[in-house]
Amino acid sequence: MSSEILPAFSETSNVERKQDLNEDQEENQKPGLGEGFEPISKRQMKKLMKQKQWEEQRELRKQKRKEKRKRKQLERQCQLESNSEGSDRKRIRRDVVYSPLRLIIDCSFDSLMVLKDIKKLHKQIQRCYAENRRALHPVQFYLTSHGGQLKKNMDENDKGWVNWKDIHIKPEHYSEFIQKEELIYLTSDSPNVLKELDESKAYVIGGLVDHNHHKGLTYKQASEHGIDHAQLPLGNFVKMNSRKVLAINHVFEIILEYLETRDWQEAFFTILPQRKGAVPTDKACESSSHEKKFARVEGGLNSDSSEEENRNELDSPHKEEKQDKETSTESTVNSILH
C-alpha cells in the first residue's frame, strides 16, 4: 500500500517543482529595478503620462460637462426669449400704417462729389432705409438716378443692398416716372415754407454732400425745371447756433417723425442732434429779451461796459461765420429748410 502512495507523491512533487521553476523564469524575464532594468520607450512613456493626466483630470472633466449643460440651458432660454421678442416685433409690424407719401433721394449729383462724400452719402442712405423700416408710418421710399460712384461703392461695401425691401431703387431720373405737378423739391434756399405735408405729393431730397461748395444748386434746378419747391418750417419752431442745413437722413427722419406726431416742433427736437444747439423760438426770444434788459441795466451803471457789449454784438456775425466754417465739414445736403 505504501508502494502505491510513493509514486503518486513523487509525481505531485515534480509538478510543483516545475511550476516553481516557471514562476522563477517569469520573474527573471520581468524588468527589475536593479542592474538588469531596461528603460521604457518614449511611446510607452507618453502613454503612461496620458493615462496619468486622464486620471488626474477626471474631476475637471465632470465640472466642464456640468458647465456645458448649464450653458446649453441658458442658450435655449435666451433663444425662447428672443423668439418671443421676435413675435412681438412681428405683431407691432402688422400694426404699421404705410403712408402714401413718396420721399425721393435724388442721386443725380454723383459727378459733383469726391469719393469721400460719396461714402458719406451712402451711409446717410443706409440710415434712411433703416429708419423707414422701423417707422410706424413708413413712406414710399425712392432712390433715383442710382449709378456711377454711388452704385460702385454700394456694390463694394454693401452688397446686401440688392435685397433691400420697401424701397424703389431706380437708375432713371425721378422726372421720368413722376408727374411734375406731384413733385415738391425740399431745399433750404426756397422762399416757400411748408405748413404741413401733402401725402399725395412726392417730396424730393437732394442727394448732394458738398460742404456748401454748390450752394443753391438744388433750388436752381427745381426752378429751371418748373418743379415746386419748399423748405421745412425749421425757423418757425427752432433757433440754432449752427447753419440751418441738415443732413439727408435728418430731413428724412424729421418727415417720418412728423407723420407720426403731426407736430413740427416735436419732430425737430426729436431728430436734431445736440451739436446743433437747437432751442425753441419762444425760449430764444425770452432769453434775448432778458439779455437786453440786463444790458440796459449795465448801461445805466457803467457806460463803458455797454459800449463793450455793443462792440461784441457787432462782432457776433463774424463769430457765427467762423462757426459756419467749423461745422462745414459735416456731411450735409442742400435740400433743407429753415
Catalytic residues: 210
> Can you tell me the distance from the alpha carbon of 206 to that of 227, in angstroms, rounded to the nearest whole number?
13
> Can you tell me the distance from the alpha carbon of 42 to that of 36, in angstroms, rounded to the nearest whole number?
19
Closest among 302, 230, 242 to 273, alpha carbons compared: 242
Residues in the chain: 338
Question: Is the Cβ–Cβ distance between 248 and 208 less than 8 Å?
Answer: no
Vertex 20, ends 15 and 26: CA angle to 5°? 130
